[in-house]
Amino acid sequence: MTTTLEPHAETVARNRYYLKNTKGETIEDGNALFSRVAEAIAKVEDDYFTLPVEKDLLKQEFIDIMERLEFIPNSPTLMNAGTEQGTLSACFVLPLEDSMQEIMKTAQDMAMVQKFGGGTGFSLSRLRPTGTSIKTTHGKACGPIEVLKTLSRVSSMVTQAGKRDGANMAVMSVYHPDILNFIDCKATEGDIHNFNISVGVDSRWMKMVEHDMSYGLIDPHTNHLVDMLSARYVFTKIVEGAWRNGEPGMIFLDEVNKDNKVSEQYGEMIATNPCGEQPLLGNESCNLGSINVAKFYRSVPSYDASGLVSENIDTSWEEHINWQRLAKVTKLATNFLDNVIDANYYATPEIEQMTKSTRKIGVGIMGFADLLIQLRVSYNSEDARKIAGILIQFITQEADLASLDLAARRGTFPAWEQSSFDHVTETYRNACRMTVAPTGTISMLADCSSGIEPTFALAWRKQNILKEETGEAQTLTYVNKYFEQEAKDREFYSEDLMTYLAEGGSLQDRTDVPNDIKEIYITSPELLPEEHVLMQAAFQSYVDSGISKTINMPNDATVQDVWDTYMLAWKTECKGITVYRAGSREKEILVKGIKNEDVTFDCCENPKIIYESGCHKCLSCDWSACEIA
């Protein structure tokens, strides 16, 4: 089939993914892009003695699911597959040990990973506290925050794939003596700008917060108790920081390690990738890809008692999902991502060895909000959360079956023998199979909503150049495609309504819009924080890695609101939590419809930046700062 991308998706592809010649001229289109990627990934089949005819069929199926925009791999794969340069994986965690040699080695490895588009995560928890004596030099340790700043400066020197600054995550255990300094290390806007930060906690500590107990800070170098702090005081500092500017998030490490099946061999996972959805061991990488679930909606005619088609009889939502096609695409996606591990270029031998030992992949989804719209279900309803659970359970089961089948043909992942998987029923090819990523740029390419996020805006404005010879520009209003069609079909469409929405107005305040439309097209800023969290939890139940989900809050949200949200995330067994209060980053974030004169982004003439699922995205153009996923 011929790939026809929407105009904004074509812009994304041209700027991010299409190959260029030495003159900077684009030499690919959508078909060539997907063919290049499929060819490179299917070539791996030769290593497993797949028959040529079967390999060619598989390659065509890879092309087919990408051209249909049913499945899109993470951006490094789109950018680098078939070019014989650059990594194909998005997510990395690098070890950070307590010696000068190890710190410098980590900095060098980070630079090599980020040079070709990977995002890196680190745990600062093993670094000795600030001021600790160093026997070899008779000096004092500079401490984890100075190491963090050093890594940040190195990351700023690297332009990922020639397109953007490096992206990073730093995690520190709540038991580290420097935890209070870590919580406040990004209090000043712009400091350590290329790192997200999260505090690693466990249920034991969260219970101490509930009961207002004190706990011990442990020097990781000596394992000695060095101080006591009130758990509730520390938690208050965390939520105050998150209220102030979205930092820090929290990672519930005991929940993370419930799915760590190789802990006896390799230890615990104590860090994640930059957007938080992929916990990994030191030197592990993971390649991701997302299924556009909106593509599996199908219309089903309803019949009344006379056998005639009726528009008044509703059918079960499950009848509207093409489960057979979804199962096939999930299995193909699993095969695709497993092949990426072998087709990949690795920045260091250690990363290659560790990645191939566990062979983790991340099958995820995008377009969930679009699917709910088609199903006529409100995002903040109990029905939506039920659909989320059933949908992701089905995809997980199919990915697991595909991984079992791959293991039967190719062998289990090398670390499986010493893993805690059931050695009779859980003979997997991949130690982890599922990850829900933010899909910042690939959702633009697929013309669908991001990850599992709700719709952020129904209308927005964008600068268009109408006449190249004169440079004449006009601001045009762009509208959510489902909303626009329904508004016209039901005859409440008006330019006044669209302008109102593009300027930040709420659909809920309009008397000219039917109530059922207001329910179906509820947007992210209109949701309660707990509704965001409960949706994240609905998906997390069936995902063995993490979920990228930003809990959007209104500007007038209180510190107590953040407190309650973080507590709810823990109690509903999420693996991590990130909040963002609208307008809390004066020079970085623009909320829907509000122009901030101090904005520092220069992606277009009229930037309208939003913060969604760990990403900066512009509604006025096609720019996104989380294309690693």
Whether 549 contacts 249, CB under 8 Å:
no
Q: Which residues of 264-286 are buried (b: 16+ CB within 10 A; e: fewer)?
A: eebeebbbbbbbbbbbbbbbbbb
Q: How many residues does the chain have?
A: 629
Catalytic entry in 70, 277, 284, 588? 277
Catalytic entry in 168, 245, 260, 273? 273
Distance CA 69, CA 63 (A): 10
Whether 257 is a known active-site residue: answer: no
- Residue by residue, DSSP assigns 143-183 as -HHHHHHHHHHHHHH-EETTTEE--EEEEEETTSTTHHHHH
Distance CA 28, CA 13 (A): 9
Distance CA 454, CA 145 (A): 35
- Helix, strand, coil % (nearest 5) of the chain? 40, 15, 40
- List all residues 6 or more positions away from 68 whose beta carbon is below 8 Å from its beta carbon: 1, 295
Provide the token pair at 146.
């100075």
Catalytic entry in 91, 185, 275, 621? 275
Whether 275 is a known active-site residue: answer: yes
**What backbone torsions phi and psi does residue 265 show, to the nearest 5 degrees?**
-90, -40
Distance CA 629, CA 612 (A): 13
Provide the token pair at 358.
């566990």
The β-bridge partners of 72 are 290
Whether 620 contacts 462, CB under 8 Å:
yes
Provide the token pair at 73.
């791999």
Distance CA 19, CA 151 (A): 31
Distance CA 588, CA 598 (A): 8
Distance CA 316, CA 304 (A): 15
**What backbone torsions phi and psi does residue 168 show, to the nearest 5 degrees?**
-145, 160
Distance CA 315, CA 66 (A): 30
Burial of 88 from C-beta contacts in 10 A (0-12 / 13-18 / 19+): buried
**What backbone torsions phi and psi does residue 39 show, to the nearest 5 degrees?**
-60, -45
Whether 377 contacts 384, CB under 8 Å:
yes
What angle is formed at CA 343 by the lines to CA 342 and CA 346, rounded to 5 degrees? Answer: 85
Whether 574 is a known active-site residue: answer: no
- Residue by residue, DSSP assigns 355-412 as HHHH--EEEEEE-HHHHHHHHT--TTSHHHHHHHHHHHHHHHHHHHHHHHHHHHHH--
Name the residues annotated as catalytic. 273, 275, 277
